[in-house]
């Protein structure tokens, strides 16, 4: 007894099916690429924020330890150490030792220990000092934007002296350095420095 065997032929993809598959693939690739770009920006900004915070903490440690730089002469006692930010030079910040006990950064009188260049087109988008809003418990701070900010530490005090545009600022809740990524959808992070010497990244 003979049985008819039906052979099934595997039909190939039609053009319509191929276009649909390629369209889906293109959309998925675009979404993945966009998300990767945003993710990379966030990582880069977080790394930069950590580097800035660590440099501020290094200034605090060097001041408290009484470290003397290899060069430079000081008026008296141990030098102060600090970090200087200037929005007119948004792609760099300066680590310095204070030579004259004034503590605010002085380009002519202070010893520049390191000039840190910010890479990947990230930049300092703003610096400022933030004051408590009022004595009635409102925690929303009032900001005072600055052109530049110097944060210094002097032995034996672990607290930070904060200078805005060359003047010592008192009565503030914290000073803030804002950093941002380039492009139409920037990622921003904030480094807060409190007068107590505490450093916080947001």
Report yes or no: 126 and 178 within 8 Å, Cβ to Cβ. Answer: yes
Q: What's residue 137's pLDDT?
A: 46
Q: What is the pLDDT of residues 53-107, one digit of tens each?
A: 999 999 999 999 988 876 666 555 688 899 999 999 999 999 999 866 667 788 7
Q: What's residue 75's pLDDT?
A: 56
- Please choose, from the candidates 39, 32, 57, 16, the residue with its C-alpha nearest in 3D space to the C-alpha of residue 200: 57
pTM score over 0.95: no
91 three-state secondary structure = coil
Q: What's residue 67's pLDDT?
A: 87
Radius of gyration from C-alpha coordinates of the chain: 27
Up-side HSE of residue 116: CA atoms within 13 Å toward CB? Answer: 20
Percent of all residues in the chain with a pLDDT value above 70, rounded to a whole number: 77
Task: Please identify every stretch of the chain with a pLDDT value under 50, giving residue numbers as ranges.
Answer: 136-139
Q: What's residue 187's pLDDT?
A: 94
Q: Domain residue spans in the chain?
A: 28-201
Q: CATH homologous superfamily of domain 28-201?
A: minor pseudopilin epsh domain (3.55.40.10)
Distance CA 187, CA 183 (A): 9
- CA 3 to chain centroid, in Å, comes to 78
Distance CA 161, CA 175 (A): 10
- Which tokens in the block code for residue 47? 């790394």
Q: What's residue 25's pLDDT?
A: 74
């Amino acid at each position: 007894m003979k049985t008819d065997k039906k052979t099934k032929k595997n039909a190939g993809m039609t053009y319509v099916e191929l276009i649909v598959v390629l369209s889906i693939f293109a959309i998925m690739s675009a979404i993945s690429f966009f998300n990767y770009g945003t993710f990379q920006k966030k990582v880069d900004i977080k790394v930069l924020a950590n580097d800035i915070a660590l440099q501020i903490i290094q200034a605090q440690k060097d001041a408290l330890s009484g470290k003397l730089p290899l060069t430079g002469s000081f008026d008296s006692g141990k030098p102060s150490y600090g970090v200087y930010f200037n929005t007119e030079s948004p792609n760099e910040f300066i680590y310095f030792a204070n030579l004259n006990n004034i503590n605010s950064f002085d380009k002519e009188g202070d010893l520049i220990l390191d000039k840190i260049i910010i890479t990947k087109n990230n930049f300092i988008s703003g610096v400022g000092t933030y004051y408590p809003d009022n004595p009635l418990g409102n925690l929303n701070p009032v900001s005072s934007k600055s052109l530049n900010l110097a944060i210094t530490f002097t032995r034996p005090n672990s607290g930070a002296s904060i200078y805005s545009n060359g003047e010592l600022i008192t009565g503030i809740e914290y000073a803030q350095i804002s950093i941002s990524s380039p492009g139409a959808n920037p990622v921003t992070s904030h480094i807060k420095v409190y007068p107590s010497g505490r450093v916080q990244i947001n």
